[in-house]
């Protein structure tokens, strides 16, 4: 009798939430290790997209341990309003410790919540961002519509997501690392049997490039562009909410 692949055993918000709660203690360390430190660079590039939004309100969806809010807080000092939201309470707990250590508790607020039902009124934020989070939304289209809803007119969305290089040789090398080396390393360090098998599986199934760009358009965003980073292993998407 055939057995199901481990990565396919993760489905539904509760299972994904439990997975992130379980790996939270080693999450930051593994991000640095498995990306060879590139995750910091990717987040800096993403936050730079808000340079023209000084002293504004920002929401980071699927904030994890609050790396994005911390980067915004350091780059754009108060009275900027910064909110990070995640469905993993373990991640938020670690994020709050990092915020306190950086003396940014007055500037940054972390709240529990899911992208499909963002607990804010229409037109509450000038910028909304999510890094490596859309793949984990229960309903990506609904999550993007919610992100559009809470943006003010002329507000900006920024999305970071994994992608595959266009170069065939680079893609083969990257996929070998991503699908073979990364799951084993992640499993050994995190102690979680399938979390880092779920990661490459979720990337393979993610609508990348022009397909995701169309999803943003269908969610109401305009002036959408995409930018490959680090030989195309990550893509930065950005768009604007037009005045209505």
pLDDT in tens, 111-165: 999 999 999 999 999 999 999 999 989 999 999 999 999 999 999 999 999 999 9
If pLDDT is split at 50, 70 and 90, which confidence band does 76 have? confident
Contacts of 108 by beta carbon, 8 Å cutoff, 6+ apart: 66, 69, 70, 73, 82, 83, 84, 99
Nearest Cα residue to 22 out of 145, 191, 204, 235: 191
Rounded to the nearest 10 degrees, how much is the dihedral formed by the CA atoms of 143, 145, 150, 151? Answer: 120
Mean pLDDT over residues 88-116, rounded?
A: 96
Mean pLDDT over residues 211-229, rounded?
A: 96
Most confident residue range from 11-15, 94-98, 189-193, 195-199:
94-98
pLDDT on residue 3: 32
Q: Which two tokens stand for residue 150?
A: 């809470």
Residues of the chain with pLDDT > 90, as a percent, come to 63
pLDDT on residue 243: 66
Our CA angle for 183, 93, 35, nearest 5°, is 30
pTM recorded for the entire structure: 0.88
Contact by Cβ (8 Å): 153, 230: no
How long a stretch of residues is the chain? 244
Lowest mean pLDDT among 3-12, 198-207, 212-221: 3-12
pLDDT tens column, 1-58? 333 333 334 455 677 777 777 787 777 887 888 788 899 999 999 999 998 877 799 9
Topology classification of domain 6-240? Rossmann fold (3.40.50)
pLDDT on residue 5: 36
Exposure string over 138-155, b if 16+ CB within 10 A, otherwise e: bebeebbbbbbbbbbeeb
Structural domain boundaries of the chain? 6-240
Nearest Cα residue to 60 out of 81, 85, 40, 93: 85
pLDDT on residue 105: 94
Give the whole-angstrom CA distance, residue 224 versus residue 214: 9
């Amino acid at each position: 009798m055939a057995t199901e692949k481990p990565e396919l055993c993760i489905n539904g918000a509760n299972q994904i939430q439990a997975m992130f709660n379980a790996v939270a203690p080693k999450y930051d360390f593994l991000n640095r290790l498995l990306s060879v430190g590139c995750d910091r660079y990717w987040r800096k590039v993403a936050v730079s997209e808000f340079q023209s939004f000084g002293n504004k309100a920002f929401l980071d969806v699927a904030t994890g341990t609050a790396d994005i809010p911390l980067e915004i807080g350091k780059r754009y000092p108060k009275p900027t309003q910064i909110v990070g939201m995640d469905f993993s309470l373990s991640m938020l707990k670690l994020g709050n410790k990092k915020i306190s250590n950086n003396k940014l508790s007055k500037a940054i607020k972390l709240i529990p919540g899911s992208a499909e039902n963002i607990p804010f009124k229409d037109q509450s934020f000038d910028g909304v961002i999510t890094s490596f989070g859309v793949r984990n939304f229960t309903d990506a289209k609904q999550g993007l519509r919610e992100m559009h809803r809470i943006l003010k007119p002329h507000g900006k969305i920024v999305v970071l997501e994994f992608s595959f290089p266009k170069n065939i040789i680079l893609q083969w090398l990257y996929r070998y690392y991503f699908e073979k080396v990364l799951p084993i390393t992640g499993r050994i360090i995190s102690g979680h049997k399938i979390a880092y098998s779920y990661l490459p599986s979720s990337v393979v199934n993610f609508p990348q490039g022009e397909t995701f760009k169309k999803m943003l358009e269908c969610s109401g965003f305009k002036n959408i562009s995409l930018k490959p980073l680090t030989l195309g292993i990550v893509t930065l998407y950005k768009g604007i909410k037009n005045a209505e």
